[in-house]
Amino acid sequence: MEPWRAYLVYPILIGVIAIAASFAVPNKYRAVAQVYPEQQKSSGAGNLGAIAGLASQIGVGLAAGAQSPQFYIQVVGSRRMMEDLLVARVAPESGDSVLLRDYLDDSGATGTAQLDKALRRLREATEASVNARTNILELAVTLRDRSIATRVVGLYLDALNRFNLASRQSQAGQRRRFAEARLREAQDSLSQVDRAVSEFLTRNRQYRDSPTLSFEYERLQRLLINYQTLYTGIRRDYDTARLDEVNDTPVLTVVDPPRVPLRKASPSRVTAGLGGGILGVLLVLSWAAMRAFIGRMYREDRAQFDALTAFLRRSPARRRAAR
């Protein structure tokens, strides 16, 4: 066979071998879901924010917060959430339902060894990313069984909703207790100012004839209005927190629900063939360069060529000794 023909045949042959070897690799399927985490803020904190100047008089301050999509990526990758998923039952396309940890690790290990191996495989199979422009969270799971991959994505979404619900209700409970204490303080202060105004009017029925008494009355009226506004704002926040504490509305909007994938995600026969062909080209080029180098050495420096030949004919032990 002519050398140039060999240079063409070998890459093709290696590519064909790579494609054939890819059939020995189990197929994997990728189930995907897209969700939009709503950027919810504490409405009660917003109410108090409108009267922040007044609230600062008695030390009231409620911070508003929102969970970013990046936060959910960290939650998905947390050990606690994955451990909760591992005890869920999943049903393969063929066979009886099993625990997810038994599906991920069927080596027969038990206890911590099985849990660690199952966690590692679940973490390797899970992908979570966020679109920077739309803030849409994409959650994907790649496994050999397409039904289980879809089921695991659904389990992730359910777990995220439960986490959101528990977290939101817990924060609302803390905000309610805080607002409840401040509400009592504001109510006491309002009652004191109200009594002060009443007593002033009882003692000074003709206060309009005195500039000093008029000024004092206006000061008490301003203070009374301020405390009334403050009390109204805290009361509104308290009522909102009570509603949020029992609110079970999900904050994850499912844009694209998980569906059973029809096409495998890997291995790719085309990629295997192209990779094998490129590897074959690199090997052929290396071999051609080596042949050219040895041929030039044979023609130009016969002594060095003979020394190299003699060195290559030695046994590995004698080669190491010669070095």
Q: What pLDDT score does 51 carry? A: 41
| Cα–Cα distances in angstroms (integers) from residue 257 to residues 34, 35, 86, in the given order | 7, 8, 21
Residue with tokens 């004191």: 192
Determine the Cα–Cα distance for residues 312 and 202; give it in Å rounded to an integer: 119
d(CA 79, CA 91): 23
DSSP per-residue codes, 213-269: HHHHHHHHHHHHHHHHHHHHHHHHHHHHHHHHHT----SEEEEE-----SS--B--H
Q: How confident is the model at residue 61 (pLDDT cuts 50, 70, 90)?
A: very low
Element (H, E) at 20: helix 3-22
Evaluate if residue 40 carries a pLDDT over 80.
no
Q: Mean pLDDT over residues 73-81, rounded? A: 85
Residue 253, SS3 per DSSP: strand
pLDDT band, residue 56 (cuts 50/70/90)? very low
Cis peptide bond upstream of 267, omega within 30: yes
Strand, coil or helix: 37: strand
145 neighbors 160 (Cβ within 8 angstroms): no
Please tell me the predicted confidence (pLDDT) of residue 322: 55
More confident residue, 66 or 239: 239
Q: Which residue has the higher pLDDT, 312 or 235?
A: 235
Condensed to tens digits (0 to 9), the pLDDT of residues 150-165 reads 999 999 998 888 888 7
Reading the block at residue 176, the tokens are: 């309610």
pLDDT at 317 over 70: no
What does the pLDDT look like over 246-280, one tens digit per residue? 766 667 788 888 888 878 766 666 666 677 777 77
Q: What phi and psi, each to the nearest 5 degrees, are found at residue 128?
A: -140, 130
In the block, residue with structure tokens 């002519």: 2
Per-residue pLDDT of 124-149, as tens digits, reads 989 988 888 888 889 999 988 888 88
Q: Is the pLDDT higher at 91 or at 20?
A: 91
- Residue given tokens 């625990």 in the structure block: 99
Q: Which residues pair with 253 in a beta bridge?
A: 36
Q: What angle do CA 202, 207, 211 make, to 5 degrees?
A: 150
Per-residue model confidence as pLDDT tens digits over 166-200: 777 777 788 888 888 888 888 888 888 888 888 88
Q: What is the pLDDT of residues 277-316, one digit of tens each?
A: 777 777 777 777 777 777 777 777 777 777 767 766 765 6
